[in-house]
Chain A
Amino acid sequence: MIELVALKQALAAEQAVVYGYGVVGAHLSGKDRKYAFSQLVAHENLRDRISALITTAGAVAPPSQAAYRLPMPVTGAKSARLLAAQLESGAAGAAWDLCASTAAQSPAREVAVGWLTNAAVAAARWGAPAASIPGRRQAS
Chain B
Amino acid sequence: MEVQLLSETTDPAERAAHLQHLAALGGTVPSPTATTTPVTEPVRVQLRGSADSLRTAAVAASNGMHAAVFASIAASHEVLLGD
Q: Which residue of B lies closest to A131 (CB)?
A: B76
* Contacts A113-B59, A120-B78; A104 near B67 (Cβ below 8 A): yes
- The residues of A that contact B67 with a CB separation of less than 8 Å are 99-100, 102, 104, 109, 112-113
Contact B16 A113 (CB under 8 A): no
Interface assignment of B17: CB less than 8 Å from any CB of chain A: yes
- The residues of A that contact B76 with a CB separation of less than 8 Å are 120, 131-134
Provide the B16-32 mask, 1 if CB < 8 A to any CB of A, else 0. 11001100100000000
For the complex, would chain B's binding face be called helix, strand, loop or mixed by DSSP majority?
Answer: helix
Provide the B41-82 mask, 1 if CB < 8 A to any CB of A, else 0. 000000000010001001111101101110111111011000
Interface size class of A (residues with CB under 8 A): 20 to 34
Interface assignment of A117: CB less than 8 Å from any CB of chain B: yes
Contact B59 A105 (CB under 8 A): yes
CB distance from A107 to the nearest CB of B (A): 10
- The residues of A that contact B72 with a CB separation of less than 8 Å are 92, 96, 116, 120, 133-136
Cβ-neighbour of A112 out of B17, B62, B71, B78 (below 8 A):
B71
A21 to B16, CA, bound (A): 31
Contact A109 B78 (CB under 8 A): no
A119 to B78, CA, bound (A): 11
* Contacts A133-B69, A133-B76, A134-B75; A117 near B55 (Cβ below 8 A): yes
Interface assignment of B13: CB less than 8 Å from any CB of chain A: yes
* Contacts A102-B64, A136-B68; A124 near B59 (Cβ below 8 A): no
Cβ-neighbour of A120 out of B20, B61, B65, B79 (below 8 A):
B79
- The residues of B that contact A102 with a CB separation of less than 8 Å are 64, 67
Q: Which residue of A lies closest to B79 (CB)?
A: A124
Cβ-neighbour of B75 out of A101, A120, A125 (below 8 A):
A120
A101 to B67, CA, bound (A): 9
A135 to B67, CA, bound (A): 12
Contact surface of B with A, Cβ cutoff 8 Å:
13, 16-17, 20-21, 24, 51, 55, 58-62, 64-65, 67-69, 71-76, 78-79, 83
